[in-house]
A and B are shown apart, each in its own frame.
Chain A
Amino acid sequence: MTATESLRTGAGLDGELLRDLYQRMLLTRQLDLEFVTMQRQGVLLGYAPLRGQEAAQVGSGAVVDRARDFVFPTYREVGVAVAMDVDVVGYMATHLGVWNGGAYDPIASRFGAVNAVVAGSVLHAVGWAKGEKLTGSDGVALAYFGDGASSQGDVHEAMNFAGVDRLPVVFFCQNNGWAISVPTARQVAGGSVSARAAGYGFPGVRVDGNDVEAVYLATQEAFARARAGEGPTVIEAMTYRSGPHSTSDDPGRYRELVEENSWIERDPITRLALRLREEHAADEAYFEGALAEARAATESIRTGITETVGRPAEEMFDLVFANRPTTLDQQRDLWRAAAEGEERGDD
């Protein structure tokens, strides 16, 4: 598929599922807004907002079967965490500066550690998928990455390996138009990440990433193929990073407000609300209830974050190895002795 071809749109999910997706997208939005505020208030050290990408994240994450699949997130995946019922307070430990990678259990959550290295975990998904094949299991690995990440050599290596071995992995690219200040046009030669799949010999689909049904259906289809032993799929969800790259970014330096505004009418949550109304799948009472529920959940997550106590500094030493050499114990002892004697300022 080329950049000029039409996007695949979704249709036909039942009302109950749509309402569940809506609820999670709404919660994601409320959380995202709250986290930006919390960074401004000095609670969070930094944060990477995902506003505008709720459909891409929730619609794909909702397909995951936590009994058998495994997800490899980046650093902008609160919506996927919400879709998968990951402990969001634990997720935010990374932005609190409490623990890089988050403080949830990635193995139990089936949601890998927050990864600060762009494209850092795409190959892990392929390795995990290889493991499923070696053990004759039917789980699927879902790798998230951005349009920017698609430029990394690791992504090529991952797709090629997955294609050679027909591994059960779904490469989910959120093409949000930007990699910090660099637009997709200056990033992706040929204009399409999904089109690259053809070269690796497996399907690539480009979906409207702000249409949660389209995202859900494309992901579901890719998972079905993977489970059936038919190999990988690239999904390129066309969406938009409506906020700054991170709380320390200033998009005014590199993009126009008219561009940002043009995406307001394509807002994934507004669109889903419209659809629910059209389908008579939700009434005003539902929407009021959904918002109240999202606000309450946000409030309780906020409380959880503000009440998070820092990890003891000993963990800096204790968690480096599974089998810790005594040299590190000695360094820990020296650190403790020094920490007890601290009295002067540093700057």
Chain B
Amino acid sequence: MTDAPTTAAPSTTLSMQAAINLALEHALAQDDRTLVFGEDVGKLGGVFRVTDGLQERFGADRVFDTPLAESAIMGMAVGLALHGFRPIPEIQFDGFSYPAMNQIITQLARMHYRTRGAAPMPVTLRLPSFGGIRSPEMHSESLEAIFAHVPGLKVASPSTPTDAYQLLRQSIADPDPVIFMEPKARYWNKAPFDAAMALADTPPIGSSRVVRPGKHVTLVAWGAMVSRCIRAAEFAAEDGVELEVLDLRWLKPIDAAGLAASVGRTRRAVVVHEAPLTAGLGAEVGTLITEQCFGTLRAPVQRVTGYDVPYPPGDLEDHYLPSTDRILSAVQRVLEYRRG
């Protein structure tokens, strides 16, 4: 396919929703084998309009609605990949990946291994994820730890439009299955954006990014919690406390070296995520830090997370999600910690 990208003049601002749309457009234009499919992604352009206009431009063979069956979406993705396509399926909301878990875990994640490398699975599952939008039940799940636990899956989550563009293009180009978790609470936030520059600057798979440098404590986050950590850092700065915010970006593989570099400098770390506490990714991040920085750490790594409860109804959402206050309390705990 030779069509040049049609949108996005340089030095514009773009929302994450539009940046993802653009990444899909560019991927579809670049490679005939890419396919976008899922529930309502065609004429409607997706319930978040992320696939808006793609069917019109690339036709209903390349961008198509599926029947309402998530297991079918992911099972078909496996079959299409076996045929040589590069499927980019969408599951409408995080919580509806549950009906597809069988195909994702028992088939998609293992096919390369099972076939001794004969059948790579270049499948990128786009999954609007996480909470913060007062949604109905099953529309605000944080599943990164579940996916990260499955051998054979890679997991990414962006926090900005540029990141979203980079990570998605990178995921689509990768020969392995990637679960691409889009923070729906950040879909509409705009930021400066330049597609060509973003593509040129893309760091390797598994790279984290320091999005705000600081020297006293490292906050580790991903998705929508990154902006909340930046907010917490702004508050802390008023009191002379400099928080470094590290956006993990890749939740598998995790940038262990990036964690060690940051925490090596700050000697204190707080991990923030929306998912429940127990067996969440915070436990993995905390362990990676402890394993690498035990000698320099001034305090045990703290976790600020959701609770071990189902994601609550809209009314109670603010009680569940990590707040800047909870983040700053954890910062205070690591700063005031004294070896007993």
Contacts and interface: CB of A to CB of B under 8 A. Distances in A.
Interface of A: 45-46, 75, 94, 96-101, 116-118, 148-149, 151-154, 179-182, 186-187, 248-249, 253-254, 310-311, 313, 316-317, 320, 327-328, 331-332, 335, 338-339, 341-347
B316 interface: yes
A67 to B, nearest CB: 30
Interface in B163-214: none
Contact of A320 (B45, B235, B310, B328): B310
The CB with the most chain A CB atoms within 10 A, among B45, B67, B95, B328, is that of: B67
Contacts of A180: 39-40, 44, 47
Interface string B36-58: 00011011110100000000000
Contact of B45 (A249, A253, A328, A345): A253
B96 interface: yes
Given A152-B69, A311-B315, A344-B235, A338 B325 contact: yes
Nearest to A334: B307
Interface string B53-80: 0000000000001011101100000000
B319 A181 contact: no
A347 B231 contact: yes
Interface of B: 39-40, 42-45, 47, 65, 67-69, 71-72, 95-96, 98-99, 134-139, 227-228, 231, 235, 277-278, 307-310, 312-316, 318-321, 323-326, 328-329
Contact of B136 (A94, A179, A249, A254): A94
Top 7 nearest A-B pairs (CB, nearest first) are: A97-B314, A100-B137, A181-B44, A151-B67, A148-B68, A116-B137, A313-B319
Nearest to B328: A344
B95 A320 contact: no
A269 B145 CA distance: 50
B315 A181 contact: no
A180 B134 CA distance: 20
A68 to B, nearest CB: 29
B309 A97 contact: no
Contacts of B71: 152-153
Contacts of A98: 313, 315
A332 B323 CA distance: 16
A346 B321 CA distance: 10
A101 B40 CA distance: 25
Contact of B316 (A94, A311, A338, A342): A311
